[in-house]
Structure 1
Amino acid sequence: MASSLHLFLPLLLLFSSSFSLLPLCNAQKRHSHRPHFASHNYREALTKSIIFFDGQRSGKLPSNQRISWRRDSGLSDGASSNVDLVGGYYDAGDNVKFGFPMAFTTTMLSWSVIEFGGLMKSELQNAKEAIRWATDYLLKATSHPNTIYVQVGDANKDHACWERPEDMDTPRSVFKIDKNNPGSDVAGETAAALAAASLVFRKSDPKYSNLLLRRAMRVFTFADKYRGPYSNGLKKYVCPFYCSYSGYQDELLWGAAWLHRATKNPTYLNYIQTNGLTLGADEGDNVFGWDNKHAGARILISKSFLVQRVQSLHDYKDHADNFICSIIPGASFSQSKYTPGGLLFKMNDSNMQYVTSTSFLLLTYAKYLTISKKAVNCGGTLVGPRRLRAIAKKQVDYLLGDNPLKMSYMVGYGPRYPLRIHHRGSSLPSIASHPAKIQCSAGFSVMHSQSANPNILMGAVVGGPDLHDRFPDLRWDYEQSEPATYINAPLVGALSYLAHSFGQL
């Protein structure tokens, strides 16, 4: 997995362009939001972005497994602790199951279906299967009250090997949080994931949906009652990989917001109203990802004000507006950096995760604004939903190939894409072509080689180019070349909207 040590660094307020953003006139706001030109096959990209999750599966693979070079793995996970933890996803290019990013991946896949599933057509079932692969595992991980199993695998020992998941012989150690060693961040995110997924299955599988929702409520109560960051008690196992740098307050707000949306129970609305300002933390925070949920929570909660007219949540519309204003390129009020080629740039390590998550939030907020006939007020300048959609489209188009290198950062899409991604299973010979075990350290000769990966991890989106639009395509460069589930998850929603918008679905 991509090391996340950079996340504790303070975010700098970055240069904004001298160009000003003109207010949208009424005629523009009434204009159809559909762009006129599709430079990409968003439907193809959507299909591949979901197929990617097949390649990240752990456990016993099903008969309809679409990435066929993968085989069963981790079939005894949890046995050392007398619990069944078989299944779930490997987070990125390694063989560890990290519960924190897996839960966020699940939440974002679910949110993608909740907002845009009606546009997905034939891909909706595939997206639901990707979600269920995660929620089946999260149900196992939360099967014991006041306990969550948050990791399977010793990350430090795993990273000392370069081996296929089918071969892994590193310790499958099990790590948990409980009343004595709390983890409100991972517990809050797990509650959010289960609650969001309950909405996905509400009509198609109400029994499963109810199970997810009941578990979400129980997990959230645990998260709130026993407060603390999980990386306190588990620091040497989860850091620097998935430390909780932003604290746990954002996950408590995020979890409550999803439970309010899933239950409509006034208890959760009251929780948000009572605790929201305390948990909301820094309003200037303009990063949204597996660690920091502040911006996502603001957008999510603002729907209750914009669409359901819950007046007590008015401030969340203002906070959501502030986030949106901070990322408008070329505006005097922008606080975000962009590469010369136009890519939103937040951090060197796995920057594309912020591109996909921000694009999703832009399209989702544009949807809420359209329904409520509102706009974003950026210091007196009104920015309408059409503008937000255009920004999101430009980011997705860059990812798919509209960039200075003319390279798609999605494996298998377009004529040119990364060939040497930082991913063990993709880089080593498959079981079918090389049945003999590849020992722990034997794979490092492949990792450091210039040869292309023999197995195509279809749909994988890598960390992406640097601040100057450069991408060397080196396998050892995990910051730029490693894919991750939480990069793809919000992209599923964005691609669904764009494919529908251009009549491709």
Structure 2
Amino acid sequence: MVWASAVTAGTVEVSEGSSSLQATGYADALGKAILFFEGQRSGKLPPGQRVTWRGDSALSDGRLENVDLAGGYYDAGDNVKFVWPMSFTVALLSTAAVEYGPLVSAAGQLGHLRTAIRWGRTSFYAPTHLRRHSTPRGVFVAQVGDGNSDHQCWMRPEDMDTPRTLYKITSSSPGTEAAADAAAALASASIVFRGVDANYSANLLAKSRTLFDFADKYRGSYQQSCPFYCSYSGFQDELLWAAAWMYKATKESRFLRFLTDNQGWSSRTNEFSWDNKFAGVQVLLAKEHAAGATGLARYKTDADAFVCSLMPRSSSLQIRTTPGGLLFTRDTANIQYAAGAALLLSLHARTTSSAGGVLCGATAITSSEISAFAKSQRYPTQVHHRGASIPSVKVLPGKIGCGQGYSAWYSAAGPNPNVHAGAVVGGPDSGDRFQDVRSDHSRLEPATYINAAFVGAVAPWPAAPPSCNTAAPAAPSQAPSSEGPRTAVYCEGGLYSKLNGFQFTPNQCLHP
């Protein structure tokens, strides 16, 4: 059960494929989840921009240091470009394209997905990659914009006048996590474009090599120098994540050797997030192990352990679920963990299908059961988002200042004036309670890495047709609350409206 903002608003045109998938709730959900990224764009918007309430913004990024850093994505509901979580976002979008390309194409969304990946890579590619990278004086821009001053203001990106400070990592002030993650993003994207634009793909791969070598040579945690989005799990998972994608992109022995030599870093975990990527490494390499790569058995074993930590029938279950069946890892923006888990569970179910599944202690968990549980993590007016909560510059062209935005729009009652279609927000608490109040950023704020995980989680749904019970839904276990208006929830590949406060039961469909 994953909550999304206004997913029923508007339509998404499809330009490819002829499959009936285009007419399904799956295609609509996938299309809007990808459309979300157009609402997060920074820089000069293209002629084909579909989110029309947005305008050009941050065109001068980098100018203070004589570089052009315009472009990329704003991270969440704020106006800062954080390269580390953005790299994770691009890698997840690339995962969906690499693993489920034909299904995404059949839904008419592969072109849009590739465009989202291309736009995202501008957050850290071209001007933001290593300059003078052949010398120890290499510089990598890890953040554009001052998070503290930005968070003190409530302004549209188009009006933004807070400092656009550049935060960098260097050989003397390293941030291995950020550099390695960017390497993984570029390597994964190179696979996406290999058969589409060979020169572009080769360029991405060349830059990813440079970043990987820089991250590996100048090891040091980003925790020591980061202004925001600091590291709590160390840099080992990012180096493994980068090496895994480099190996997947190149099949070169040096990257396989790096993975086997450092397999002792692999740590069993029950979450997958922008900071903790061990489970992602393990699931990626379990697939390579199944394909015949040598020395990766440890990663496959750890991937199985990740699955066992989440599956309800497992004797080693570690993560509880809400009354409605949503995996609940922690209270703040929990949906990112549920969506990430759903993505990895679906991928690992494909890898283990020939073996029949995963053995969790004395309990055998079948691949179909893993897939079904991944799908049960279903994805839902006052989204915590600066641009969406203030009227568009095309409607209200006068500048909305820092304090004015807070007084007039942040605190305003009622829905946002702009629908941020497809935005997946933080989600309900451990009891499935959800209050539609803009100030609650832990529940109402969307983020690129949440949506990217959702794109990867929903992409394989057509491979296993939805099995919603089409009978009349059971009565809710409690009366609808008065906390807010109708929102929407994705249920087993379909789109259904609901009232805030309903309690869900697994596999229950709520009809409009």
CA contact (8 A) 2:97 2:192 kept: yes
- Helix, strand or coil: the match of 1:251? helix
Q: Equivalent residue for 1:491?
A: 454
> 2:32 pairs with 32, 42, 48, which one?
48
> 1:218 pairs with 210, 219, 227, which one?
210
Q: Equivalent residue for 1:309?
A: 292
Q: CA offset at residue 330 of structure 1? A: 4.2
- List alignment gaps of at least 5 residues for structure 1: 1-39, 400-407, 409-418
- Helix, strand or coil: the match of 1:182? coil
> 1:209 pairs with 195, 198, 201, which one?
201
Q: How many pairs were matched up? A: 436
CA contact (8 A) 1:194 1:212 kept: yes
Q: Equivalent residue for 1:274?
A: 261
Q: Equivalent residue for 1:9?
A: none
User: Which amino acid in 2 is paired with 1:375?
Assistant: G
CA distance in 1, matches of 2:123, 2:317: 40
Q: Equivalent residue for 2:418?
A: 455
CA distance in 2, matches of 1:447, 1:424: 8
CA distance in 2, matches of 1:137, 1:490: 18
Larger CA deviation: 308-317 vs 128-137: 308-317
> 2:346 pairs with 363, 369, 374, which one?
363
Query: Structure 1: which 4+ aligned runs deviate by more than 6 Å?
Result: none
Counterpart check, 1:132 vs 2:110: no
User: Which amino acid in 2 is paired with 1:466?
Assistant: D
CA distance in 2, matches of 1:137, 1:91: 10
Q: CA offset at residue 448 of structure 1? A: 1.8
The Cα offsets for residues 360-386 of structure 1, whole Å up to 9 and x where unpaired, read as 00111111122x444211113221210
User: Which amino acid in 2 is paired with 1:106?
Assistant: V
Q: Equivalent residue for 2:280?
A: 296
- Helix, strand or coil: the match of 2:337? helix
Q: CA offset at residue 143 of structure 1? A: 4.3
C-alpha spacing 1:382/1:311, structure 2 compared with 1 (3 Å): farther
Counterpart check, 1:336 vs 2:328: no
CA distance in 2, matches of 1:233, 1:189: 16
Counterpart check, 1:392 vs 2:374: yes
User: Which amino acid in 2 is paired with 1:303?
Assistant: K
- Helix, strand or coil: the match of 1:192? helix
Counterpart check, 1:259 vs 2:251: no
- Helix, strand or coil: the match of 1:137? coil
- List alignment gaps of at least 5 residues for structure 2: 1-23, 467-492, 495-512
Q: Equivalent residue for 1:353?
A: 336
CA distance in 1, matches of 2:59, 2:256: 41
> 2:171 pairs with 170, 179, 192, which one?
179
CA distance in 1, matches of 2:39, 2:275: 23
Q: Equivalent residue for 1:148?
A: 140
CA distance in 1, matches of 2:455, 2:44: 24
Q: Equivalent residue for 2:387?
A: 425
CA distance in 2, matches of 1:320, 1:328: 13
Q: Equivalent residue for 2:155?
A: 163
Q: Equivalent residue for 1:111?
A: 95
CA contact (8 A) 1:187 1:220 kept: yes
CA distance in 1, matches of 2:358, 2:411: 48
CA distance in 2, matches of 1:112, 1:258: 14
Higher relative contact order (CA 8 A, sep 6+): 1
Q: CA offset at residue 340 of structure 1? A: 1.0
The Cα offsets for residues 34-93 of structure 1, whole Å up to 9 and x where unpaired, read as xxxxxx811110010000000000000011111100000010001111111110000100
Larger CA deviation: 420-429 vs 331-340: 331-340
- Helix, strand or coil: the match of 1:71? coil
CA distance in 2, matches of 1:388, 1:64: 39
Larger CA deviation: 331-340 vs 127-136: 331-340
TM-score with structure 2 setting the length: 0.83
Q: CA offset at residue 332 of structure 1? A: 2.8
CA distance in 2, matches of 1:118, 1:479: 35
- Helix, strand or coil: the match of 1:327? coil
- Helix, strand or coil: the match of 1:441? helix
CA distance in 2, matches of 1:271, 1:301: 13
The Cα offsets for residues 195-244 of structure 1, whole Å up to 9 and x where unpaired, read as 0000000000010000000110110000011011123123xx22xxx111
- Helix, strand or coil: the match of 1:312? coil
User: Which amino acid in 2 is paired with 1:228?
Assistant: G
Q: CA offset at residue 334 of structure 1? A: 0.5
CA contact (8 A) 1:41 1:499 kept: no
CA contact (8 A) 1:43 1:499 kept: no
C-alpha spacing 1:184/1:143, structure 2 compared with 1 (3 Å): closer
Q: CA offset at residue 450 of structure 1? A: 1.8
CA distance in 2, matches of 1:454, 1:189: 35
Q: Equivalent residue for 2:401?
A: 439
